[in-house]
Amino acid sequence: MAGLTLGQAPTRRGRPSARRARRQRLFRWVVVAVLAVFFLLPLFAMLEFTTRGAGGKLSFDTWKLLFNWGQLSQTYPDLSAGITASAGLVVLTVALMLVLLVPTVIWVRLRLPGLRRVVEFICLLPLTIPAIVLVVGLAPVYAWVTYFLGGSSLTLTFAYTILVLPYAYRAVDAGLSAIDVRTLAEAARSLGAGWGTVMWRVVLPNIRSAVLSAAFLTVALVLGEFTLASLLNRSNVQVAINLLGKSSATMSVAVSLAALVLAFVLLLLLSLVGRGRRRAQEETS
């Protein structure tokens, strides 16, 4: 729009704001273009690498194999086991996060506002404890987990829930900050709702998109997790990729790209969810 009017207007040299706009546009496109090359090159390279056939020809064999589950689990049993474990971990971790974190955060807002800072501190604590440190402390805890629940990779759920706490907390907290929880709760209580009803029927529906973003972030994080899985001697898709890298680089690059695209789609959906909600609010106001 600005460009059009600039073009039509009688161009008078020395008009300061027009000159600045032009300078900024040039700067913008140079920066974006240079960085776009840096960020897109590895992605393109991955695609090229996985479609490199014998004699320099294009070949989609790797991708065909990746999407042929039966054959894949025969050829690379470790990989398919890792994928299965990651899928299970995604479901379990999202569930545990939803059950454990969301009600607690709402409850603290409603009934224990004095504890809000404490809960926030706890939830953000994992940010200052690198995963590699956490794994050192988790090793003895997981000895007990293995004792009680066995050594299944799915037990990683507990540790992963800790890892996603900061991200999920911030998402849910932002959602709660955007609504007036106190007034909503008081309104509902004055209409005869119990605390359970307030949380489940009043507050939760109002922070649906925040909970959804917490879930999306959890999925993205769990899909990319490597440190805990590898050092607690369990398996997931990242561990499998790493292992596979030593024998079949092409396949591990292909799985990497697929995981990345999946995360991309998830987080893109996330930003769409957020914006759809915002737009709806703008339209009603």
Partner 1 sequence: MTESVQVTGAAAADRGGVAVRLEGLRRRFGAVQALDGLDLDLAPGELVALLGPSGCGKTTALRVLAGLEDTDEGRVLVGGRDITTLPANRRDMGMVFQAYSLFPHLTAQENVEFGLRLRRRQAGDRRRRAAEMLELVGIGKHAGRYPHQLSGGQQQRVALARALAIEPQVLLLDEPLSALDAKVRVQLRDEIRRIQVEVGITTLFVTHDQEEALAVADRVGVMRDGRLEQLGPPSEVYLRPATPFVADFVGLSNRLPGRVVNGAVEVLGARLPLIDPLAAPTGEVTALVRPEAVDVVVDPDGPGRILAASFLGSMSRATVAMPGDVLVVAQVASARLGELTPGTAVRVALHEVPTPLA
Partner 2 sequence: MSATVRHPAEPAPDPAATAPGGRSRPGRARLSRSQLGHARSLVGVVPFVAFVTVFLAIPTIVVAVGAFTGDDGRPTLSNLSALANGYIIDAFTRSILLSATTAVIGAILGALLAYALVTAKEGGLLRRIVTAAAGVLAQFGGVTLAFAFLATIGWSGFVTVFLREHLGIDLYSHGVWLFDLPGLVLVYTYFQVPLMVIVFLPALDGIRPQWREATESLGGSTWQYWRRVAGPLLAPAFLGSTLLLFANAFSAYATAAALVSQGSPIVSLQIRSALTSEVVLGQQNLGKAMALGMVVVVAVVMALYALLQRRTAKWLG
Chain residues in the site for partner 1 (CB under 8 A): 1, 4-5, 9-10, 12, 14-18
Q: Is 252 in the site for partner 2 (CB under 8 A)?
A: yes
What is the number of helices (H) and of strands (E) in the chain?
Answer: 15, 0
User: Distances in Å between the alpha carbon of 169 and those of 118, 129, 173, 180, 210?
Assistant: 13, 16, 6, 18, 10
In the stretch 121-140, what mask flags binding to partner 2 with x, by CB under 8 A? -x--xxxxxxxxxxxxxxxx
Q: Which does 74 bind (CB under 5 to 8 A by kind): partner 1, partner 2, none?
A: none
3-class DSSP state for residue 85? helix
Dist. CA 237–CA 80, nearest whole Å: 8
Question: Tokens for 13?
Answer: 């040299």
Under rule CB under 8 A, which residues in 68-87 are in contact with partner 2? Answer: none
Q: Which does residue 14 bind out of partner 2, partner 1, none, counting CB within 5 to 8 angstroms by kind? A: partner 1
Terminus-to-terminus CA distance in the chain, angstroms? 26
Among the listed ranges 66-74, 87-95, 173-181, 268-276, the one in contact with partner 2 (CB under 8 A) is 268-276
**Any contact of residue 159 with partner 2 (CB under 8 A)?**
yes
Do you know the residue count of the chain?
285
**Residue 191 is a binding residue for partner 2 (CB under 8 A):** no
Q: Which of residues 12-71 bind partner 2 (CB under 8 A)?
A: 20, 24-25, 27-28, 31-32, 35, 38-39, 41-46, 48-50
Supply the DSSP symbol for 246: T
